Amino acid sequence: MSRLLDLGRRVELHSMDPHHQDISIALYRTEQNPPEYRAHSYSELPGAQQRVMDVVDGICRLGGLQPGQGGPTCLCFDCGQDHLLAMKRAFLESCKLPEPGSATPCDLNIVDRKSGLTIQARGLGDGQYRIEATDEAGNPPEDADNGARRVGVIVNGLRKLGDMLAVEDADGQLLNDCVSFACGHDHDALVGLLLQRAPNVRALVREQEAAAARGVLAAPSAQR
């Protein structure tokens, strides 16, 4: 009897998990409405399913998701939207951790290595966030142009990693320091997670492509 399961559409793959004997773990988007995600591994190695459960727990903690209705490895966003790109990032970041079940949400600020400035995401409500740069004393940077450039880099990174939207002012002009979620709901944990990676999106994409090339999710008969 085939062990292949109808899990939905595979949207991301962690091809070789160094924290559990190089098993493959995949993320699927189910066909439920509202949309849900399911993490799964076909590996029969001891502890593989517990590792999947730990990864799911880590996703909930890092991305601010909640358990879904489809089973113990299913999860969803409380806003009812899929936020696909951000979800893929939360999955991959959870897979990187040896103990994702003990993860804690990321802060809404980082120290930008290239400028030394503190970058903060300040929630404005209705899913909107303003990105601000300050010096060590919490003041606006002396080099205002450099601060604005770094804010622009972060905003661009958040839009690419989380499929966040540009924000317009009352006159229809784009605000270079703001981003928002299309759902209109706040996702602080998710923004905190994305903020850690936003300064260097290109390197992150290269890392992800290299990881995907190391292996594939094998059929049950090919799993160790």
Q: How do 118-125 and 109-111 pair as beta strands?
A: antiparallel
CB 74 within 8 A of CB 7: no
* Residue 194 placed within a domain: yes
Say how many domains are in the chain. 2
Q: Are residues 139 and 190 in the same domain?
A: yes
Residue 153 CA to residue 200 CA, distance in Å, equals: 8
154: containing domain: 109-198
- pLDDT of 129: 98
Q: Are residues 22 and 76 in the same domain?
A: yes
Q: Are residues 127 and 192 in the same domain?
A: yes
Q: Are residues 98 and 117 in the same domain?
A: no
- pLDDT of 210: 65
- pLDDT of 212: 57
* Residue 37 placed within a domain: yes
DSSP state of 199: G
Residue 175 CA to residue 179 CA, distance in Å, equals: 8
- pLDDT of 223: 44
* Residue 1 placed within a domain: no
3-state SS, residue 132? strand
* Residue 4 placed within a domain: no
* Residue 167 placed within a domain: yes
Q: Are residues 15 and 100 in the same domain?
A: yes
99-109 in b/e form (b: 16+ CB < 10 A) is ebeebeebebe
Q: Are residues 72 and 120 in the same domain?
A: no
Q: How many residues does the chain have?
A: 224
3-state SS, residue 182? coil
Single-letter amino acid code for the residue at 150: R
Q: Which residue has the tokens 């098993």?
A: 23
Q: Please report, in tens digits, the pLDDT of each residue of the chain (224 residues total).
A: 345 567 899 999 999 999 999 999 999 998 888 899 999 999 999 999 999 999 999 999 999 999 999 899 999 999 999 999 999 999 999 999 999 999 999 999 999 999 999 999 999 999 999 999 999 999 999 999 999 999 999 999 999 999 999 999 888 889 999 999 999 999 999 999 999 999 988 777 677 666 656 555 444 444 44
Q: Which alpha helices (DSSP H) does 19-173 contain, by range?
A: 48-63, 84-95, 144-162
* Residue 138 placed within a domain: yes
* Residue 203 placed within a domain: no
- pLDDT of 224: 41
| CA proximity to 30, closest of 11, 58, 55 | 11
Q: Are residues 135 and 55 in the same domain?
A: no
